[in-house]
C-alpha cells in the first residue's frame, strides 16, 4: 500500500469507566462517507439470517467470475472445524461489470448452493457486489468488512467481534484453526488490565507444494521458511478485532497490495502468532510468475488484477533447477545480510534488553551467550534447509561464514548494546528534565500562595 499523508495509524486506548469498544465503532461509522454507508447497509442486509451473526466471522472476498472451482473445497475446511463457539463464513461475491450475468458467476453461486447442502451445519453468509473493471483488493475487502461490522453493530448493543481475513484458495485448515483463534482472544478479553483495540494477530500460514512443479515449490518453501525466521506473517491469515479495525479506519480502498498494513503497529514488532492455527494456502501466484519474475516482483500492484491469470490457469510452467538455485541464492543472501540485526531489534523482551546493558558483567555475558545460542540454532536450521532440502550448499556455507560468524554476531551485539545504552541515557535525561519541571511547578505554586 502506498504511504499517504495523514494515513491513519493503529492506536490502542486503555479501558476506562467511560470508554468501550462500542464507542470507537460508533465514531468510525459516523465518519463514513455516503458511499461507505450505502455499501455497508446493502451488504448488512444481505447477511440477514434467522440467527444473529456470530462474534467470530471469517471474511472471504470471492472473485465470482474466476474462483468457481475453489468454493466447495474451501468451505469444507471450515465445515470440519472443531470448536464449541459459533462462527460464520462470510463470502463476499464480487465481479467486474464486464462479467455481469456471465456463466462463471452463475456457476459460483451454484457452488455455494451445493456447499450449503453438503455442509448444513456451517453458517455461510453471502453478499454480492459488482465493481468497476479494475477494483482494488483494498476496496473489495473494505466493502466486505464494513458490511460485516455494520451488521454486527445493528444487533442490539455492539459487543467486540473478531474478523478473520482469509482467501478462497485455502488448501487446508487445521481442525482447531477457528477454535484456537477464539481461545486466544477469549483469554485476552478476560484480562483485568487490557486495552481497547485488542492486538491484530497472525495465524500460521504456509504455501502448498505441488509435485508437478518441484523447483518452483522449493523456491516457495524457502520464502515461507525465511519469513518464519523473521516471524513474518501473510495477509490472508490475519485476525483483526473489529474495534482495532475501526480504530485504524478500516481498509484503504486505494490499496492494490499490502492492504492490511493499517492494522499492524510496526513499532511493536512482529504480530503475535496464534499457535495451532495451521493454514495452507495455494502457491498458484508463485507458480504463475516465478518463471518470469523474481520474488520481489510477485507482490506488486502489477501482479494483481480482476482478471488475474493465476486464478483460472489449469497448468503452470515450472522453473528450472538452475533458476531455483539463483532465486534462492539471491534471496538468501539478502536474508542473511540483516537477519541478526532484525532479530536483535524485534525479538528481545524488555527483560532481555535490560540484561544486555546490566551493570553486572556476569548477567551481560550470560545474555550474550543465550542470544548467541538462539542465533546458532537458526543457523543450523537454515543450513539444513539450504543444504539438504533445497540442495544449495554454497549459499549455506556463505551464510555460515558471513552472517552467522562469531565476528558478525559479536559486532551486532555490540551495536545493539550501544543503542540500548544511548536510549537509557536519553530516558534518564528526560526523567531528570521532568523532575526539574515538577520542582519548578512546586516552587511556583508555593510562591503564588505566599
Instruction: Read off the pLDDT of each residue in 388-417 and give the average, rounded to a whole number.
Output: 90
Predicted confidence (pLDDT) at residue 433 exceeds the cutoff of 70? no
Is residue 337 very low, low, confident or very high in pLDDT (cuts 50, 70, 90)?
confident
| 17 pLDDT above the threshold of 50 | no
**Residue predicted with more confidence, 272 or 145:** 145
Buried (b) or exposed (e) across 383-421, using 16+ Cβ within 10 A? Answer: bebbbeebebeebbebbbeebbeeebbeebbeebbeebe
pLDDT band for position 437 (cuts 50, 70, 90): low
Backbone angles phi, psi at 224, to 5 degrees: -65, -45
pLDDT given for residue 363 in this prediction: 94
- 418: confidence class by pLDDT, cuts 50, 70, 90: very high
Of 264, 236, 234, residue with least CA distance to 248: 264
pLDDT of residue 8: 41
Residue 66 near residue 175, CB atoms below 8 Å: no
pLDDT of residue 312: 82
For the segment 110-133, the average pLDDT, to the nearest whole number, is 96
Evaluate if residue 429 carries a pLDDT over 80: no
pTM above threshold 0.75? yes
pLDDT in tens, 200-239: 999 999 999 999 999 999 999 999 999 888 888 888 999 9
pLDDT digits (tens, 9 = 90+) for 248-273: 999 999 888 888 888 887 667 788 99
Query: How many residues are given for the chain?
Result: 450
**Per-residue pLDDT tens for 158-200?**
788 999 999 999 999 999 999 999 999 999 888 765 667 788 9
The pLDDT, as a whole number, for residue 7 is: 41
Q: Give the pLDDT of residue 13.
A: 40
The burial class, CB within 10 Å (0-12 / 13-18 / 19+), for 380 is exposed
pLDDT > 90 fraction of the chain, expressed in percent and rounded: 59
Mean pLDDT of the chain: 86
- The domains found in the chain, sorted by start residue, are 13-311 (3.90.550.10), 321-436 (no CATH)
Of 53, 85, 87, whose CA–CA distance to 158 is shortest? Answer: 53
Q: Please name every residue paired with 207 in a beta bridge, in sequence order, or none if there are none.
A: 281
Amino acid at each position: 500500500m502506498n504511504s499517504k499523508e495523514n494515513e491513519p495509524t493503529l492506536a490502542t486506548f486503555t479501558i476506562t469507566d467511560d470508554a468501550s469498544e462500542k464507542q470507537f465503532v460508533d465514531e468510525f461509522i459516523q465518519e463514513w462517507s455516503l458511499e461507505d454507508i450505502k455499501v455497508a447497509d446493502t451488504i448488512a442486509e444481505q447477511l440477514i439470517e434467522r440467527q444473529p451473526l456470530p462474534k467470530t466471522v471469517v471474511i472471504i472476498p470471492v472473485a465470482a467470475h474466476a474462483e468457481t472451482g475453489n468454493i466447495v473445497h474451501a468451505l469444507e475446511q471450515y465445515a470440519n472445524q472443531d470448536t464449541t463457539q459459533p462462527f460464520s463464513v462470510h463470502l463476499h461475491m464480487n465481479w467486474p461489470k464486464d462479467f455481469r450475468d456471465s456463466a462463471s458467476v452463475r456457476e459460483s453461486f451454484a457452488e455455494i448452493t451445493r456447499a450449503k447442502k453438503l455442509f448444513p451445519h456451517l453458517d455461510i453468509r453471502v453478499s454480492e457486489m459488482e465493481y468497476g473493471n479494475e477494483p482494488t483488493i483494498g476496496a473489495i475487502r473494505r466493502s466486505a468488512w464494513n458490511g460485516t461490522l455494520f451488521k454486527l453493530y445493528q444487533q442490539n448493543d455492539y459487543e467486540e467481534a473478531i474478523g478473520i481475513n482469509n482467501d478462497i484458495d485455502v488448501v487446508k485448515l487445521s481442525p482447531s484453526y477457528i477454535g484456537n483463534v477464539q481461545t486466544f482472544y477469549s483469554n485476552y478479553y478476560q484480562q483485568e488490565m487490557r486495552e481497547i483495540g485488542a492486538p491484530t494477530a497472525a495465524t500460521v500460514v504456509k504455501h502448498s507444494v505441488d509435485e508437478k512443479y518441484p523447483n518452483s515449490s522449493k523456491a516457495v518453501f524457502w520464502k515461507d521458511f525465511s519469513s518464519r525466521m523473521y516471524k513474518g506473517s501473510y495477509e490472508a491469515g490475519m485476525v483483526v478485532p473489529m474495534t482495532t479495525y475501526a480504530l485504524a479506519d478500516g481498509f484503504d480502498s486505494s490499496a492494490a497490495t499490502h492492504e492490511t498494513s493499517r492494522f499492524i503497529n510496526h513499532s511493536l514488532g512482529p504480530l503475535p502468532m496464534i499457535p495451532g492455527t495451521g493454514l495452507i494456502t495455494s502457491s498458484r501466484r508463485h507458480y504463475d510468475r516465478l518463471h518470469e519474475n523474481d520474488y520481489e516482483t510477485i507482490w506488486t500492484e502489477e501482479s494483481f488484477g480482476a482478471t488475474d491469470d493465476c486464478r483460472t490457469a489449469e497448468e503452470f510452467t515450472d522453473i528450472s533447477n538452475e533458476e531455483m538455485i539463483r532465486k534462492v541464492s539471491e534471496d538468501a543472501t539478502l536474508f542473511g545480510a540483516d537477519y541478526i540485526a532484525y532479530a536483535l531489534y524485534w525479538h528481545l523482551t524488555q527483560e532481555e534488553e535490560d540484561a544486555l546493558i546490566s551493570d553486572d558483567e556476569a548477567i551481560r555475558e550470560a545474555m550474550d551467550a543465550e542470544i548467541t545460542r538462539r542465533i546458532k540454532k537458526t543457523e543450523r536450521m537454515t543450513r539444513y534447509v539450504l543444504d539438504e532440502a533445497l540442495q544449495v550448499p554454497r549459499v549455506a556455507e556463505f551464510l555460515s561464514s558471513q552472517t552467522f560468524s562469531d565476528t558478525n554476531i559479536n559486532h551486532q551485539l555490540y551495536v545493539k548494546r550501544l543503542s540500548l545504552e544511548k536510549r537509557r541515557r536519553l530516558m534518564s535525561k528526560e526523567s531528570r528534565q521532568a523532575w526539574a519541571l515538577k520542582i519548578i511547578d512546586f516552587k511556583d505554586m508555593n510562591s503564588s500562595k505566599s
